[in-house]
C-alpha cells in the first residue's frame, strides 16, 4: 500500500560525470521561468526534455552535477518539476544546491545501471526507497545526513532559515 508521500513517477537515466552544462547550458542563464525552463536538459537531444514530466526522477552515476555553481539549473529543475535525483555520487556544490532548494537527493551505487529510462517507479522520499513497478522490487537508497534532511524537511534552506530565525 502506497503512502501519501509515495508517488509513481518515471526515471530518466543518465550516465557518469553528467555536468551542469548538459543539464542546463549557460546561455539559458536567467531568473525567470521563461528564461531558464527552455534550458532544462538542453545539452541532450530535444526529445529528452520533451518526454520529461513533472515528478519524474533523474538517475545518474558518478559525480552527478559536476561543473558550474549557477543555481539557474536548480530553478529549471523546480519549473520542470524534478521529483528527486538518485546517483552513485554527486558533485559537492550541486548537492548543496539541490538540498537548499528542497529537491530530495539520495545515493545508490548501481541504480543507474539497473533501471532503464522512462520505466515507472514508486519513490518514497521519507522512507528513502524506490519500488520498480514492473517487478515490485523495493530498492533502499542512502539518504542525506540528518542535518541536511532537516533542511529538506523544511522545504529548503530559505524556509529553514525562516523557521530558525531568532
**CA gap 79, 24 in Å, rounded:** 13
> In angstroms, what is the minimal distance from the CB of 135 to another protein?
31
The tally of CA atoms less than 13 A away on the side-chain side of residue 128 is: 16
Q: Which of 26, 123, 128, 108 is nearest to 62 (CA)?
A: 108
54 touches 29 (CB < 8 A)? no
Of 65 and 130, the one with the shorter C-beta distance to another protein is 65
Of 35 and 133, the one with the shorter C-beta distance to another protein is 35
Mode of pairing for the β-strands spanning 105-107 and 120-124: unpaired
Using CB under 8 A, pick the residue from 47, 50, 135, 147 that binds another protein.
147
Q: Number of residues interacting with another protein: please give it, by CB under 8 A.
A: 39
For position 55 contacting another protein by CB under 8 A, the verdict is no
For position 158 contacting another protein by CB under 8 A, the verdict is yes
For position 7 contacting another protein by CB under 8 A, the verdict is no
- Give the binding range for another protein (CB under 8 A) out of 5-13, 30-38, 120-128, 135-143: 30-38
For position 71 contacting another protein by CB under 8 A, the verdict is yes
Phi, psi values for residue 32, rounded to 5°: -95, 160
Q: What is the DSSP letter of 39?
A: G
For position 110 contacting another protein by CB under 8 A, the verdict is no
Of 53 and 92, the one with the shorter C-beta distance to another protein is 92
Give the count of beta carbons closer than 10 Å to the beta carbon of residue 74. 23
- Give the binding range for another protein (CB under 8 A) out of 62-70, 78-86, 103-111, 120-128: 62-70
Per-residue H/E/C for 73-123: HHHHHHHHCCCEEEECCECHHHHHHHHHCCCCEEECCCHHHHCCCCCEEEE
Which residues of this chain interact with another protein, rule CB under 8 A?
17, 19, 21-22, 25-27, 29-31, 35, 42-43, 62-63, 66-72, 74-75, 89, 91-93, 96-97, 100-101, 145, 147, 156-158, 161-162
Amino acid at each position: 500500500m502506497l503512502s501519501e508521500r509515495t508517488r509513481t513517477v518515471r526515471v530518466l537515466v543518465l550516465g557518469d560525470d553528467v555536468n551542469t552544462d548538459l543539464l542546463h547550458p549557460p546561455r539559458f542563464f536567467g531568473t525567470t521561468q521563461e528564461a531558464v525552463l527552455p534550458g532544462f536538459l538542453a545539452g541532450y537531444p530535444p526529445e529528452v526534455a520533451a518526454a520529461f514530466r513533472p515528478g519524474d526522477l533523474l538517475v545518474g552515476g558518478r559525480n552527478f552535477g559536476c561543473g558550474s555553481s549557477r543555481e539557474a539549473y536548480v530553478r529549471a529543475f523546480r519549473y520542470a518539476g524534478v521529483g528527486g535525483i538518485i546517483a552513485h555520487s554527486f558533485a559537492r556544490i550541486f548537492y548543496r544546491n539541490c538540498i537548499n532548494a528542497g529537491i530530495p537527493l539520495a545515493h545508490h551505487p548501481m541504480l543507474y545501471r539497473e533501471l532503464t529510462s522512462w520505466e515507472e517507479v514508486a519513490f518514497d522520499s521519507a522512507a528513502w526507497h524506490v519500488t520498480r513497478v514492473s517487478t515490485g522490487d523495493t530498492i533502499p537508497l542512502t539518504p542525506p545526513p540528518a542535518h541536511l534532511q532537516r533542511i529538506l524537511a523544511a522545504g529548503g534552506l530559505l524556509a529553514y532559515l525562516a523557521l530558525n530565525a531568532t
